[in-house]
Amino acid sequence: MSPAAPRRPNVVVILTDQQRWDTTGVHGGPTGLTPQFDRIAHEGTLIEQAITPNPVCAPARSALQTGRWPTAAGVHRNGLPLPADLPTLAGSFAAAGYATGYIGKWHLAGAPNGPGPVPTEARGGYQEWLASEALEFTSDAYHTVLYDTSDRPVRLPGYRSDALIDAAIRFLADHHDRPFLLFVSLIEPHHQNATDDYPAPDGNTAHQQASWLPPDLAALSPSAPQGGAHRHLAGYLGQIRRVDEGVGRLRDALRSLGLTDGTVLAWTADHGSHFRTRNGEYKRSGHDASVRVPLALTGPGFTGGGLVRHPVSTADLMPTLLDAAGVEVPPGVQGRSFLPLTGGGTDPGRRPEVLVQISEDQVARAVRTDRWKYVVTAPDADPWHDAAAVHYVETELYDLAADPYELDNLAGLTSHRPVADTLREALLTWLERVGEKPPTVTAAAPRDPGQRAVEPLSPELPWDDLPFAHQRDTAATSTA
């Protein structure tokens, strides 16, 4: 008898919401806060510079599910549905014979569907389902309501991230006998919208870490609205600590089921948080605090992969996971597998920078290399309705080697005009690549080194994530 074909690897994705990259120990965060993430990074592959394609929930998530930049996926802002005809991560794995499951926050069904149940046709091809369109509006820290495959409300006991991890472990136990894709989308460490706070589990507010402030928050938080990071960081870090503990329990479950060596585990976030230091809310800017996220993977193809220093977009994660599983990447995917970069490998076809699209409170675009950040803003565009613009103006330029927390805007300095010109051409190349019409870009007005650069002002948004945010879901007070 011929030997059986080897089983394809399982895939588990952990997605946090609004987690800065530098909250992890491997990126300089508080010692002991994220031992599980750090262990994944040390044992597997750490993407040193992982950048979201858009620092807004739904656009970032559309890229994770389709491998396309948000404008190409038709989701340039919150409240827009993911088109049902686009090839997706789940659809590709299902076609290859995988069981697919989704747990947690979805945020891709579109505003008319409301914050609770997600219609079957709007689930991105996932077969098993336990989720809410906007988990932040159907739950709070100790009252979690999700909806199952039949749209029935299900209340899960325990602290919210624990409850979702428990559900994920049940999925592993029920599907361990065949290859599976499980996507676990946590709300932590996103703030609770209705109260604008970060409810960490009781006794786990990380008070001993509250004195730690990244340099950008230390410099800018004193003038931020409503206290900025000084008010919220302890709860934010406490949420992250509990998530990390939960991922440790999930890894224990993989080990007990004999699945560790055959499972790709990826942990990333949709975007970061600057705690109202750059505009009137928490993200929607081109700064690393908003666009740079943690990303580490372990398992087949990634164990022992080491450190990848090349900037990578999280739009690249979808084709990377398919590549690692030996599943064909569907046509139209704009992301590029970073599997060749693991273990010290190279990818000559990869561009040296990544693209960021910024929406909702400004229509802006950015490119980021391992040293430079270049941002342009459309002064005449409607930031809610316009997916792109025909005219931009240079507004920001940062030297990340000298100024990693972007406190010194170099836009308009004649000394850096050649750098800005090079990055402008890179930006135009990227925009063409993702299907945007070629815009004009006006150079920043020349200024003296001692003259402060003027960055665009962003209004404070009344609600952070959804156009239907005022609609409190009645399921948040129901049980099932």
Query: 């945010």: which residue's tokens?
Result: 469
Model confidence at 293: pLDDT above 90: yes
At residue 22, the pLDDT reads: 96
Look up residue 271 and give its amino acid.
H
Of the pLDDT bands very low, low, confident and very high (cuts 50, 70, 90), residue 468 is very low
Tell me the CATH number of domain 10-348, given options 3.40.50.2300, 3.90.1170.50, 3.40.720.10, 2.60.120.10: 3.40.720.10
Q: Is residue 460 scored above 60 in pLDDT? A: no
Cα(385)–Cα(387) distance, rounded to whole angstroms? 6
The one-letter amino acid at 9: P
Neighbouring-strand partners of residue 313 = 51
Kindly give the interhelix angle for 228-256 and 35-43, rounded to the nearest 10 degrees.
60
Q: Which CATH number fits domain 354-442: 3.40.1370.10, 3.30.1120.10, 2.30.42.10, 3.30.300.30?
A: 3.30.1120.10
Q: Are 157 and 146 in contact (CB under 8 A)?
A: no
The predicted structure's pLDDT at residue 294: 98
Residues of the chain with CATH 3.40.720.10: 10-348
Euclidean distance between CA atoms 441 and 467, whole angstroms: 31
Confidence at residue 474, expressed as pLDDT on a 0 to 100 scale = 36
CB 318 within 8 A of CB 335: yes
Residue 461, pLDDT > 70, answer no
Q: What is the pLDDT of residue 25?
A: 96
pLDDT of 384 strictly over 90: yes
All CATH 3.30.1120.10 domain ranges of the chain, comma separated, are: 354-442
Beta strands, E only, 304-390: 306-308, 312-313, 354-358, 364-368, 372-377
Q: Which one is predicted more confidently, 372 or 477?
A: 372
Q: How confident is the model at residue 6 (pLDDT cuts 50, 70, 90)?
A: confident
Distance CA 28, CA 25 (A): 5
Q: Which are the contacts of 318, defined by CB distance < 8 A and separation ≥ 6?
A: 63, 64, 65, 66, 67, 89, 333, 335
Helix (H) or strand (E) holding 254: helix 228-256
Side chain identity at residue 26, one-letter code: V
One-letter amino acid of 432: E
Count the neighbouring beta carbons within 10 Å of the beta carbon of residue 32: 13
Which stretch of DSSP H or E encloses residue 326? none
Q: What is the pLDDT of residue 143?
A: 95
pLDDT of residue 1: 45
Tell me what pLDDT residue 193 has.
81
Token pair in block for residue 409: 């805007």
- 150: amino acid identity, one letter: S
State mean pLDDT over 385-410: 97
Q: Determine the Cα–Cα distance for residues 429 and 109; give it in Å rounded to an integer.
A: 31
- Token readout for 194 is 């209705």
